Structure 1
Amino acid sequence: MYYIGIDLGTSAVKLLLMSGNGHIENIVSKDYPLYFPHPGWSEQNPEDWWTAVLAGLKELTEGFPADKVAGISFGGQMHGLVVLDGEDQVIRPAILWNDGRTAKQTDYLNQVIGKEKLSEYTANIAFAGFTAPKLLWMKEEEPENFSKIAKIMLPKDYIAYRLSGVHCTDYSDASGMLLLDVKNRKWSDEMIQICGIRREMLPDLYESYEAVGAILPEVAEQLGFSGQVKIVAGAGDNAAAAVGTGTVGDGKCNISLGTSGTIFISSKKFGVDEHNGLHSFDHADGHYHLMGCMLSAASCNKWWMDEIIGTDQYQEEQKEIRELGENHVFFLPYLMGERSPHNNPDARGLFIGMSMDTTRADMTQAVLEGVAFAIRDSFEIAKSLGIRIERTKICGGGAKSPLWKKIIANVLGLKVDVIETEEGPSYGGAILAAVACGEYGSVEEAAEKLIKVVDTIEPDAGLVRKYDERYEKFVKIYPAVRELYQELK
């Protein structure tokens, strides 16, 4: 049988066809537009997602026996607000995870409701990208649209709805809404009241590996699929990527260098750090995880290469970088504001340390190192909780760079394991579908059998020491300029 993983990303949807033994049979990607109606805002049209998914499913299964598809599951961009009216029609464009319009509402939640209360209700504090502040923004700025809301959804769950007719979400993705009681795996009554919504507006909750229903007959007919195809809840993109890299169970770590960047630590025990610098979320394996998330990671390098240097020769540019740990240029990678650990939507990118002998390669190196240093910010919080991590998996577009992986290994002082299949959320989604269909007994069993490490980048003790010194300087830059960001808006 075949299993499909759908990774609903920010710039494109990636669809992956996997056989029961974990072999990837086909991969298809479909782009869709991203809109910035105001500086710092970020929106998409859910209908564009659906059009791309349908076209992608047809192309993905072309040449394969489509009636052998047993299950479809998901990984998806988190936190986005999709709102439907009583006729299940989309009310307004989806407000995405990297949208920064909710500074006022985020401050209200953190300062008036209070971080302690939020942490008690949800295990997290408010960040501008989370869903609850977006609801408050709609309530204040678009009251007519707010009054029409019948269902509140997340991006991937809208696709699950279009495939199954079921309003659903999973615990991992719901964890990032600031509406879920993460510890007890249920919607928070307190947050529902604070946001001025009703319980029936929220979808039913499922484990990531649970089927929510079967494919709708009309969709199955259109695609040539069996009417028995299971639609499986899936997971937020980082939890799905963690499944796809085998970061499940207790004490495992994964770093994702995608549009955003994350450090993801799986745990069988629930935990929250004192200052809520890391997100405490439910995991797709039925347990928990801690996650530090930066809003711009590989997208920083893409911006630098595409918009500033004006080249698509990413690897060629990196060949000019020869001396690691010696660069005097620093880069703050906050092009879309920042989440972990600063929680500042007004933060912006910054180069500092240039001189007349600074080269183009120095600037490129600073971008790569700046992302690594920002990931280390979150890693340091995890270490402060007594969590001992000695190695990490790595995935995402940035993980295709040997140089960047070497920088990550030495900035964090970790062994970096490269896995055979670096397909992230789409592969994790396919694995979740296989578990739901009984191909594997659990997510952990599937990961153990399917995920293979093919290379390990070992940190160099001398280079680790150099990067420790560089990091001590990096962490002083943000506090020094923090107050300026508000003035520069």
Structure 2
Amino acid sequence: MYYIGIDLGTSAVKLLLVDEEGSITSTVSKSYAVEYPRPGWSQQNPADWWEAVTAGARELMAGVDTAQVRAIGTGGQMHGLVALDAAGEVIRPCILWNDGRTEEEVCFLNETIGRERLSGLAGNIAFAGFTAPKLLWMRKHEPDNFARIAHIMLPKDYLTFRLTGEFATDYSDASGTLLLDVEHRCWSAEMLEICGVSEAQMPRLMDGAEAVGTLSAAAAQELGLPAGTVVAAGAGDNAAAAVGCGAVAAGSCNISLGTSGTIFIPSDGFRVDAHNALHSFDYVEGRYHLMGCILSAASCSGWFVGDVLKAEDFDAEEAASDPAVATVDLPYFLPYLMGERSPHNDTAARGAFVGMRADTSRAQMVRAVREGVAFAIRDCVEVARGEDIRIERSTLCGGGSKSALMRQTLANVLNIELDLPETEQGPGYGAAMLAMVAAGDAPSVEACVGRIVRMRGSVVPDPQAVAAYEERYQIWRQMYPALKPIYRQMAR
């Protein structure tokens, strides 16, 4: 039997075909465009996602008996606002997770409604990427479009709708809307009222390992798959990645280095950190998690090495940038290319090189970019440690984890051991595992993890480098507070 996992990313969708033993038999990736209509804005056409999925599915199943496909699961980019009218048609392009147009709305929610009230209603304060501020923005700037909204959903849930005709979401993804009462796992009536929408417009809430329905006849024809194939509710990309890496039980941890970077800490009970610097979200099978998210992670290297240096050999650039131990007199990098979410919640923040000298080399700047990402992840880890959460090791996934130098740098900066899953397809693999459970072919997500998730090795921190990076981090962490007032002036 086979299971399809769909990872709806920001720049591409990846489809995985997984057998009952957890082996990936084929993968397909299809890219699509991101629109940047104004500086700091980002949006996509949901029709492009579906076109990529349908083309990818037929390619994925080439030479495979499609009758053996049992179930489909989806994982995807979180927070995006997909608005449909009564006919199920997309009203406007999806406003993405890294879009920064909602600064005014975020300020209204956090300052006028109030952080304490938001935290009590939804377990979180407002961040620019969340869905609720986007609804407020749409109500103010596109009132005609706002009046047409019949269904509000998240990116992966649009795929679920196209697959099944059902309007549903899972708890992990719904947590990032700021419309969910995370602790009690239901839509917050007060948050819906604040945003001017009703529960009737919201998707049905489900566990990620539950079956939403089955593949409709129309979707089956488009994808070349059997009608009646089970479709799981799925999960937000970070929750799906954590499942795919085996970080399900309390006490585990997963770090993902994709376009953005996250640290994901599962727990059995609901908790909120003292300053709402981390997200307090739901997870699978009644669990919760805390999550820190930096908006620019592996994308920083893509920007500097690819766009600025115009280099194509990333490995060669990174290899040339790796002296044995870092020293405090080398340049520093702040990775806030799209503003920042955790822990600063600042849409005005910008990337910066600090400490440049006449003898600063290309190789040193490449290394500074890598270190800056690791330091930003550590900022999130320090918030968790401040809540007496012990993080002694973590799994690691995402495109940025393919770099041996990035892996070692992160282990040294965090001073923890990093476990590397055999399967590096985090969100898509986790989505396929949720599909296994939804189809009844695994008794639980945790049992599925125990059966098929394996590690291929680990990265151990180097004590000498740990000491050097500790010194650099203590200097680096002073730079954002020093630059913050300047960022605010630049944003005017």
TM-score scaled by length of structure 2: 0.98
**Structure-2 separation of matches of 1:174 and 1:223:** 27
**Structure-2 separation of matches of 1:334 and 1:145:** 32
Question: Where does residue 443 of structure 1 map in the other structure?
Answer: 445
**CA RMSD after TM alignment:** 0.8
Question: Where does residue 209 of structure 2 map in the other structure?
Answer: 209
Question: Where does residue 482 of structure 1 map in the other structure?
Answer: 484
1:147-166 correspondence runs (5 A): 147-166=147-166
Question: Where does residue 340 of structure 1 map in the other structure?
Answer: 342
Q: C-alpha offsets along residues 98-130 of structure 1, whole Å, 9 cap, x if unaligned?
A: 000000000000000000000000100000000
> Where in structure 1 are there 5+ consecutive unaligned residues?
none
Q: Residue 166 of structure 1 contacts residue 213 of structure 1 at CA under 8 Å; is this kept in 2?
A: yes
**Structure-2 separation of matches of 1:48 and 1:154:** 15
Q: Residue 216 of structure 2 contacts residue 228 of structure 2 at CA under 8 Å; is this kept in 1?
A: no
Q: Residue 325 of structure 2 contacts residue 464 of structure 2 at CA under 8 Å; is this kept in 1?
A: no
Q: C-alpha offsets along residues 152-199 of structure 1, whole Å, 9 cap, x if unaligned?
A: 010000000000000010000000000000011000011001001111
Q: Give the residue type in structure 1 aligned to 2:286.
A: G
Question: Where does residue 101 of structure 1 map in the other structure?
Answer: 101
Q: Give the residue type in structure 2 aligned to 1:462.
A: Q
Question: Where does residue 383 of structure 1 map in the other structure?
Answer: 385
Q: Give the residue type in structure 2 aligned to 1:325.
A: A
Cα displacement (A) at 1:85: 0.6
Indicate yes or no: 2:21 matched with 1:21. Answer: yes
Cα displacement (A) at 1:299: 0.2
Q: Residue 16 of structure 1 contacts residue 27 of structure 1 at CA under 8 Å; is this kept in 2?
A: yes
Q: C-alpha offsets along residues 396-427 of structure 1, whole Å, 9 cap, x if unaligned?
A: 00100001000000100100111111101000
| Matched position secondary structure for 2:6 | strand
**Structure-1 separation of matches of 2:350 and 2:418:** 29
Q: Residue 176 of structure 2 contacts residue 281 of structure 2 at CA under 8 Å; is this kept in 1?
A: yes
**Structure-1 separation of matches of 2:327 and 2:253:** 28
**Structure-2 separation of matches of 1:314 and 1:483:** 34
Q: C-alpha offsets along residues 126-148 of structure 1, whole Å, 9 cap, x if unaligned?
A: 00000000000000111111000
1:49-128 correspondence runs (5 A): 49-128=49-128
1:31-430 correspondence runs (5 A): 31-320=31-320, 321-326=322-327, 328-430=330-432
Q: Residue 331 of structure 1 contacts residue 349 of structure 1 at CA under 8 Å; is this kept in 2?
A: yes
Cα displacement (A) at 1:285: 4.1
Identity %: 55
Q: Residue 240 of structure 1 contacts residue 284 of structure 1 at CA under 8 Å; is this kept in 2?
A: no
**Structure-1 separation of matches of 2:397 and 2:292:** 15
**Structure-2 separation of matches of 1:360 and 1:225:** 50
Q: Residue 294 of structure 1 contacts residue 339 of structure 1 at CA under 8 Å; is this kept in 2?
A: yes
Q: Give the residue type in structure 1 aligned to 2:295.
A: L
**Structure-2 separation of matches of 1:222 and 1:11:** 22
TM-score scaled by length of structure 1: 0.99
| Matched position secondary structure for 1:256 | strand
Worse-superposed segment, 118-127 or 451-460: 451-460
Q: Residue 91 of structure 2 contacts residue 145 of structure 2 at CA under 8 Å; is this kept in 1?
A: yes
Q: Give the residue type in structure 1 aligned to 2:441.
A: E
Q: Residue 175 of structure 1 contacts residue 182 of structure 1 at CA under 8 Å; is this kept in 2?
A: yes
> Where in structure 2 are there 5+ consecutive unaligned residues?
none
| Matched position secondary structure for 1:281 | strand
**Structure-1 separation of matches of 2:201 and 2:167:** 10
Indicate yes or no: 2:8 matched with 1:11. Answer: no
| Matched position secondary structure for 2:169 | strand
Q: Give the residue type in structure 2 aligned to 1:402.
A: A
Cα displacement (A) at 1:3: 0.4
